[in-house]
Structure 1
Amino acid sequence: MRIRLFALTLALAALVSGQAVHAQTQGSVANATFTANVADGAPVDFRQQFTNGTPVVYYYGELLDLAGQTVKMRWSLEGKSMQETSVAVTHARQPSWSMMKMQPQWTGNWTVEVLNGEGKVIDRRNFAYNPPL
Structure 2
Amino acid sequence: MLKRFLFGVVLIAFLMPVAALSQTPTEAAPALKAEAQVCTGIQERMPTGMAETFSPDVGQIYLWSKITGSEGETTIKHIWYYQGKEMATVELPVRSSSYRTWSSKNILPQWTGDWSVKVEDASGNVLKELSFKIEPTAPTQ
Structure-1-length-normalised TM-score: 0.82
2:42 matches 1:27: no
Gaps of 5+ in 1: none
**Aligned residues with identical type, % of pairs:** 22
Deviation of 1:53 (Å):
0.3
Of the structure 1 ranges 40-49 and 99-108, higher mean CA displacement relative to structure 2 is found in 40-49
1:42 equivalent in structure 2: 46
Match of 2:64, SS state, is strand
Shift of 1:57: 0.3
Q: Distance in 2 between matches of 1:53 and 1:46?
A: 16
Aligned positions of 1:1-133 closer than 5 A:
7=19, 11=23, 14-15=24-25, 18-19=26-27, 22-23=28-29, 25-30=30-35, 32-66=36-70, 67-133=72-138
Shift of 1:68: 2.4
Contact 1:26 1:122 in 2 (8 A): no
Q: Point out the structure with max Rg over C-alpha.
A: 2
TM-score where L is the length of structure 2: 0.77
Cα shift at 1:94: 0.6
Kept after mapping to 2: 8 A contact 1:26/1:116: no
Deviation at 1:82, TM superposition (A): 0.2
Match of 2:4 in 1: none
Q: Which amino acid aligns with 1:89?
A: V
* Per-residue deviation, residues 84-132 of structure 1 (Å, max 9, x unmatched): 0011111111111110011111111100000011101110000101122
Report the aligned-residue RMSD: 2.0
Structure 1 segments, 4+ long, off by >4 Å, are none
How many residues were matched structurally?
121
Contact 1:85 1:98 in 2 (8 A): yes
